[in-house]
Structure 1
Amino acid sequence: MAAAWGRALGRVGLQFLRTRGGIGGPVSSLVPRVPLQGAGGGSGSGFRSRLFWSVPGRRVRGRVFGGAFLLGGGLGLYQTAKFCFHNQLAEQMALQSDTGELRLTLYQYKTCPFCSKVRAFLDYHGLHYDIVEVNPIMRKEIQFSQYRKVPILLADDGETLQLNDSSVISSAIKTYLISKNTNLKQVLSYYPEMKYKDEKGKEVTEYSNKYWVMLGEQEVEDHYPSKESMKEEVKWRRWVDDWLVHLISPNVYRTPTESLASFDYIVREGNFGSFEGFCAKYLGAAAMFVISKRLKNRHELQSDVRQDLYKAVNDWVAAIGKKRPFMGGSRPNLADLAVYGVLRVMEGLQAFDDMMAHTSVQPWYEHMERATKQHQGKHE
């Protein structure tokens, strides 16, 4: 509305300046005659008459009046610009408030279970983030990082910081969202990086406290039903990384047909060139079928790896019990989000359909899907 008033006043002013007759032009009719009374009232020629005739020259008087209208139009436009600026500023502040004042960029493979865990966490909490799909062969997208795995999350709350490891990302961002007076750099200091060499001499990177949300006692009371529930969350998050995630590859690459279907999905959703995609689909499918057998032996799985998947999922559902919809009680906790994130990478594949048909996980899974898509954790 302010913009409309400003434009109208400006047009009137310009029209008046173009009028040679000044007060004799069409604008004179817009100003009513108001008789003046009091000392020197005289013949009642009115306020408009006295105002204009006090300025020598009709053209000058016209320009003064037109200038007044232009000034009014300018003020209207100024108020409009000011109004729009404040609106934009409010929208930006609201967006920053919604995202915890974080600007987030996730480097990922879409079909990676660990990356899916992070997306489930970010989506549930309603955090806006940009995605960079990494080419799994060249990995040029993460050349800036000495850490050569995904997911990688770049987070900026005034300083750009790199978060590695899916469990660290969830724990650190959750800590940051709850501890309002702590900046992200301080939060990351709670998860120190440790490097060591395993039995094969390969360098391994680990992080202390990665399954813990680092809170004070009052914050724990505010966000967890009990300290035992927090320990339960840590236990099952660890179980996801140590056990559940290792059941995915042997199940989705269980047979040559399933392996080919899995790589068709991977190539379709991933960042591959045409030739890379062709090679990945057929050579990768054959290779992963063989590797899945090795993984089965390494993790001591049954001959029918589906049975291990069914048992793991049913163990999870049994741990939740019948009295609560989620491990976190009335709302998902980080363990719920981790399990959901890992299982959903199988969607559209035979292993997922079999899991739904032969376990009791479907009600919980559907609740998680709804909670994540609706960003139900946004205002926790």
Structure 2
Amino acid sequence: MAAACARTVSKVGLSFLETPAARRSGTVSYLLGNVGTHGSRRSYGTGGPGFRSKLFSSVRSGGGRVLGCAFLLGGGLGLYQTMKLSVQQHLAEEEKKASGGGLKLTLYQYKTCPFCSKVRAFLDYHGLPYEIVEVNPVMRQEIKWSVYRKVPILMVDSELQLNDSSVIISSLKTFLTSEGKSLTQILSCYPEMKSLNDKGKEVTEYNNKYWLMLSEADNGVVYPQKGMQKEEMKWRQWADDWLVHLISPNVYRTTGESLASFDYIVREGKFGAVEGFFAKYVGAAAMFVIAKRLKSRHNLQEDVRQDLYKAVNEWVAAIGKSRKFMGGDQPNLADLAVFGVLRVMEGLQAFDDMMENTKVKFWYKRMERATLNHEGLSQRASKQ
């Protein structure tokens, strides 16, 4: 609107300059200064009578020309200011989009939960600012307001609740990639499904949670090569259905490792002094027993480390030697999921053993740098 007005003013100015009276007058020469006669322009004070009389005389003799110059100058300045403001607004909008559209994100989590770690890996990589609420795993008072009693939970602008790590990641990735879609609209593409498991307990699952809800054009940008989307979805599901179940049997493999693991959990988690003491020793003993059951349930080998090594090497082999990440030169959602799951073992014996006895080290270090440096933020900004 402002730009149109400025252009109109400029056109009016030009029309004045084209009038016969304006062409006959010498106003422009006066306004620019008689450079040919004096060799340089003279400075005049704005308060002197000589200046006023010459100006008024010039207006009387060639008023159309003066008025045309004024319109032209005003229109040009207006157009410049309008374009400058438009560019500033565009840059501000792009910066806002790159940083997550100005969303206020709050993550309810357990620090050592692999599903929560997956979400943090995604948020960190994409440079999305978020607050963390550490949930007490015993009382869970921090999420007593929620019908959904698991973590992670991501609250958006204190109003919209996102559940399930894979739904959180898929919906946010869709939001960051798509134009004109709200998170509420996107979330409706991942409907809840409630069912009873083998033990008769109600469980909640989500349809389409490994899909990104993109237009054909956006889909081509995210997955430029054939087969990339299916590969990403396959390994994201593999991380949820298989890799994550190898963590507990490995970090609670022996009584000593169980104690070390719970010492880490208590230090990183939200426990009081007395509660932490009981959590460490009672929890370590309980998880040692549970780890044995998990080993049997998932048909793991006697030495569960071998299953961990096999899974990790399978992942590295799927990436291959020609790619830095499964996503190519940049991590994709499968890279972030696997990294998030494995990261929860850092500082424990199982992690050190994995790094020493598998080929995952170089990929893992690249992922660590990518998330710490928020490389996904600059990548998104360059595409916009």
Q: TM-score normalised by the shorter chain: which range applies?
A: 0.7 to 0.9
Is the aligned partner of 1:150 residue 2:151? yes
Q: In 2 relative to 1, CA 294–153 (structure 1 residues): closer, same or farther, beyond 3 Å?
A: same
Mapped pair 1:134 → 2:131: no
1:356 touches 1:362 (CA, 8 Å); kept in 2? yes
Partner of 2:208: 209
In structure 2, the CA distance between the partners of 1:201 and 1:374, relative to structure 1 (3 Å rule), is same
What is the CA distance between 1:35 and its match in structure 2?
9.5
Secondary structure of 2:375's counterpart equals coil
In 2, Cα distance between equivalents of 1:112 and 1:227: 34
Deviation of 1:236 (Å):
0.3
Alignment of 1:262-281 (within 5 A): 262-281=261-280
Where does the alignment leave 5 or more consecutive residues of structure 2 unmatched?
1-44, 51-87
> 2 CA distance for matches of 1:198 and 1:120?
30
Counterpart check, 1:322 vs 2:321: yes
Distance 2:275 2:298 in 1: 30
How far did residue 254 of structure 1 move?
Answer: 0.4
One-letter amino acid matched to 2:153:
I
How far residue 101 of structure 1 moved from its aligned partner, in angstroms, is 2.4
Q: Does residue 1:119 correspond to 2:146, yes or no?
A: no
Q: Alpha-carbon deviation of 1:160?
A: 1.9
Is the CA contact 1:178–1:219 (under 8 Å) kept in the aligned structure 2?
yes
Contact 2:109 2:134 in 1 (8 A): yes
Alpha-carbon distance between aligned partners in 1 of 2:258 and 2:326, rounded to the nearest angstrom: 32
Residue 213 of structure 1, CA deviation: 1.0
Structural mapping, 1:155-166, within 5 Å: 155-156=156-157, 160-166=159-165
Report the equivalent of 2:345: 346
Identity among equivalent positions (%) equals 69
How far 1:96 sits from its partner (Å)? 6.5
Runs of 5+ unmatched residues, structure 1: 1-32, 39-86
Secondary structure at 2:301 match in 1: coil
Contact kept? 2:109, 2:132, Cα under 8 Å: yes
1:53 equivalent in structure 2: none
Task: Give the TM-score of the pair, scaled to structure 1.
Answer: 0.75
Tell me which amino acid in the other structure corresponds to 2:221.
Answer: D
1:298-330 superposed Cα distances (whole Å, 9 cap, x missing partner): 000000000000000000000000000000111
- Structure 1 residues 328 and 284, CA, compared in 2 at 3 Å: closer, same or farther? same
Taking the aligned partners of 1:234 and 1:99, their CA distance within structure 2 comes to 23
Q: Is 1:335 aligned with 2:338?
A: no
Report if aligned partners of 1:96, 1:102 keep a CA contact under 8 Å in 2.
Answer: no
- Judged with a 3 Å threshold, the aligned counterparts in structure 2 of structure 1 residues 183 and 350 are, in CA distance, closer, same or farther, namely same
Question: Structure 1 residues 92, 281: closer, same or farther in 2, change over 3 A?
Answer: farther
Shift of 1:174: 0.3
Match of 2:59 in 1: none
- Measure, in 2, the Cα distance between the counterparts of 1:141 and 1:93: 35
Task: Tell me, yes or no, if the aligned pair for 1:220 and 1:227 is still in contact at 8 Å.
Answer: no
Which 4+ runs in 1 deviate beyond 4 A?
33-38, 90-97
Cα distance in 2 for partners of 1:177, 1:307 equals 39
1:260-283, Cα deviation, whole Å (9 max, x unpaired): 000000000000111110000111
Q: How far, CA to CA, are the matches of 1:36 and 1:196 in structure 2?
A: 91
Which residue matches 2:186?
A: 187
Shift of residue 97, structure 1, vs aligned partner:
4.9
TM-score by length of structure 2 reads 0.74
Partners of 1:319 and 1:204 lie apart in 2 by: 32
Matched residue SS, 2:155? strand
